[in-house]
Structure 1
Amino acid sequence: MKILKHISMLAIVACLLSACATPYNTEKSFWTFGKGFETVQIAPDSWQISFVGNTNTDRALTQKYVMIKSAELCQKAGYDYFQYTNAQTNSDAVGQFGAGSQSNNILFGSTSIDKETSTVVEVTGLKTKPAQANTRVYDVNYILNHVKVDN
């Protein structure tokens, strides 16, 4: 019976931790269970930005987070525009949690599958908006003034 109490407490804690979408300002670390942002500068004008969200963070939200982070990085580096040279969004099942007990030869249990959505982009800052571009060019100030997160 004591083991069942421990399993129940773990299940409750897991539910509480996964009740909300991963917040925007989360940096990926051991303490965030690998969720959040990771940013690497790959050239003087370019960064690779990745964001991993929990089960409650959908594709649209991860893409919005990465777009805002791209604009913030470019503004800080003195760029007025940016474009993605590579972008990918995935939604994957990453784990399963289960708990069970047996009473009078009847097995009771519950399981859940955790999903995470991740977006990875390579973003390049631009000083001026090119007349002809192969990909969409984003205005840093427009993104920062009009795209908002609800956290």
Structure 2
Amino acid sequence: AAKSILAQAILDGVSQISVFVRSVSTEKTRPYLDKLQERTGFKVNLYALEDTSELQSRIAESDLLVNATSVGMDGQSSPVPESINLPEALLVADIIYQPFETPFLKWARSQGNPAVNGLGMLLYQAAEAFQLWTGKEMPTDEIWQSLTEKYK
């Protein structure tokens, strides 16, 4: 999902993207980002998640913060240290939809930030697949209602 989110952000015309990964994952991540830059001309900045000073600096300049990992599915973990301060208008998104509210989203909301989970992404991916397979539009409004009732 992270790769798709990056590609779509570039297509949508963002001016800057910073990706934070665990330091042990930088060697694995760099080749993909290099290939993305080669194909799009867009340079994605890569940082170690453990560098909390850089993390704070980049978040302070951001409009959107996305967790595209499984960290938080246990209902206890958060991908970002709670010592980080979020700018007031920063939108926080977590691609996880179960639990409905991850610790990451709870933390963001406790700082007054708008926050969304991955349930909408799940729904609209399903709607695209439904359209491809059946040639019909999926009743997303009805399904959204059912999903939010089930997962809240």
Normalised by the shorter chain, which TM-score bucket?
A: under 0.3
Structure (1/2) with the larger helix percentage: 2
Of structures 1 and 2, the one with the larger relative CO (CA 8 A, separation 6+) is 1
TM-score (norm 1): 0.24
Structure (1/2) with the larger strand percentage: 1
TM-score (norm 2): 0.24
